[in-house]
Amino acid sequence: MSVLAFDRVGIRYGAHRALSEFSLNLAPGEAVALIGGTGSGKSSASLAALGLLHAGASLEGTVRREGRVAMIFQEPLLALNPLMTIGAQVAEAVTARHAMKHRAAAAEAARLLAEVGLDPTAIPPQRYPHELSGGQRQRVAIAIALASEPAVLIADEPTTALDPETATQVMALVARLVRERHMALLLVTHDLDLARGIADRIVLLDHGHVIETGPLPAILEAPRTAALLERMHHRPQRRRSQPDTPPVLQAIGLQHGYGARTVIAGVNLALHAGQIVGLVGSSGEGKSTLLRLVLGLEHPQHGQVLIDGHDLHKARGADLRGLRRKVQAVFQDPGASLDPRWRVGRIVAEPLGLLEPRLPPAERDARVCAVLARVGLPEDAASRLPGAFSGGQRQRIALARALVVEPEVIVLDEATSALDAHVRAEILDLIASLADEGLAFLFVTHDRSMIEGLADRLYRLSAGKLIAQDLPPRAPREP
């Protein structure tokens, strides 16, 4: 008997096939990890299990459910209502399952919150989500999932927004709950280490196809497993940087807030030529604000951002353009960071307006051509619109735009999270080789395992402050 069964499930979004011939049976009490990179179809499979596919998706085959299916998401902050207390949110889920009196629901909610490790004396149910840490929010989300007494729990990247210690604790909680409640678990992740401790079986997905399936640890011996894992946990070769030069970008005592809320509470950061500095942190911890301050898109309430020793926020006119030339950025979603109505050549040439004196048109075109070739785009790319390119190619266009003025620092805001494993590995190699040529990178990301393999230094932004993180010793990692 199985509580969740996929029978030859296929999912298409228009012409794009996200999942093909996917079959999987989950028995009660069984834990299966669905592992794959971005674009592998693993999230589509979990949405199909919940019956939550988008309106534009078409489903082939059947998904059979015995009993209820509940889900916990990657970003607990987005899964919770910011205007309701955590107790009320859990109670709401309880009454959705069983009609009961307000007081009984509140008592049940308190019991569930205690079950997920939120001790009522320390974290009373009257708290709001913003008063909790990332790990505590994820525990609330788990309590809400438990309220429906599910037979199957789906966890989609439940720990990527958390620091490693909290992630371990949350996964231990999930493992305990699955065991105690005899639930089936479908863990959707790109992180093999996460699956290792908890899963009975592993299903490896790549481009919508199951490429390997089997119990741990035997599956790790399969040749296709090794190839996929190498791509997913790609670690580009890097030369060691020499940080004896003065910093190219320096943040000193940065503070910023909105209204009464302090978002950035005293950040000091120095970036040297050829360095890659990683920055991780949950949503709502101020990563975007910090980036906007460092890029000079927003003025800090206190503190300075120095580019080669010059204050970015005090510069005006030609001085400001000179500093802007040195710091460029690549954003998360290449679909949103390229003007859909501009041709690629014009997009990439836009920052050339920062150069003094202005380049003659022929030289501009030559520069654009050269930089498009540098990021591996076809020669005719300049005359096309961004819509004619894939996500990975668009991100190369965004990178070309950042590179065209030969900056000293590039800020990457989740610049690889929208890319599939193959493309991401190529982009990471490109970033590593640019860093070896002396370019400095500030890389903001959710993906801790990826940045650990790339960065020279790693920080976590928590409560508006930077906390230095340990990096594993740089050696080729065995899968």
388 scored as a contact of other proteins (CB under 8 A): no
Give whichever of 398 and 425 is closer to other proteins, judged by the CB atom. 398
CB of 320 to other proteins, least distance (A): 7
Interface mask toward other proteins for 400-419; x: CB under 8 A: -x------------------
394 scored as a contact of other proteins (CB under 8 A): no
- Residue 154 gets the label, from left (phi > 0), alpha (psi -120 to 50) or beta, of beta
Question: Which residues inside 36-55 make contact with other proteins, applying CB under 8 A?
Answer: 55
Check if the beta carbon of residue 76 is closer than 8 Å to that of residue 134.
yes
Helix (H, G, I), strand (E, B) or coil at 298: coil
CB of 394 to other proteins, least distance (A): 11
Residues shown for the chain: 479
Interface mask toward other proteins for 326-365; x: CB under 8 A: -xxx-xxx--xxxxxxx-------xx-xx-----------
Question: Which residues inside 265-284 make contact with other proteins, applying CB under 8 A?
Answer: none
- Residue 147 gets the label, from left (phi > 0), alpha (psi -120 to 50) or beta, of alpha
Q: Which two tokens stand for residue 63?
A: 């998904």
Helix (H) or strand (E) run with residue 103 in it: helix 102-115
321 scored as a contact of other proteins (CB under 8 A): yes
Q: Which two tokens stand for residue 424?
A: 């991401």
Check if the beta carbon of residue 308 is closer than 8 Å to that of residue 319.
no
440 scored as a contact of other proteins (CB under 8 A): no
Only segment of 117-125, 319-327, 443-451, 467-475 that touches other proteins (CB under 8 A): 319-327
Question: Which residues inside 46-105 make contact with other proteins, applying CB under 8 A?
Answer: 55-56
Only segment of 27-35, 276-284, 317-325, 436-444 that touches other proteins (CB under 8 A): 317-325
14 scored as a contact of other proteins (CB under 8 A): yes
324 scored as a contact of other proteins (CB under 8 A): yes
Give whichever of 292 and 396 is closer to other proteins, judged by the CB atom. 292
Give whichever of 174 and 305 is closer to other proteins, judged by the CB atom. 305
Distance, CA of 76 to CA of 144 (rounded, Å): 11
Helix (H, G, I), strand (E, B) or coil at 290: helix
Distance, CA of 236 to CA of 417 (rounded, Å): 17
Q: Residue for token digits 């989609």?
A: 156
Taking CA atoms, 299 is separated from 65, 262, 271, 331, 457, in Å, by: 52, 14, 20, 19, 26
CB of 338 to other proteins, least distance (A): 6
Q: Which two tokens stand for residue 294?
A: 């460092």
Residues that bind other proteins (CB under 8 A): 13-14, 55-56, 292, 295, 297, 320-321, 324-325, 327-329, 331-333, 336-342, 350-351, 353-354, 398, 401
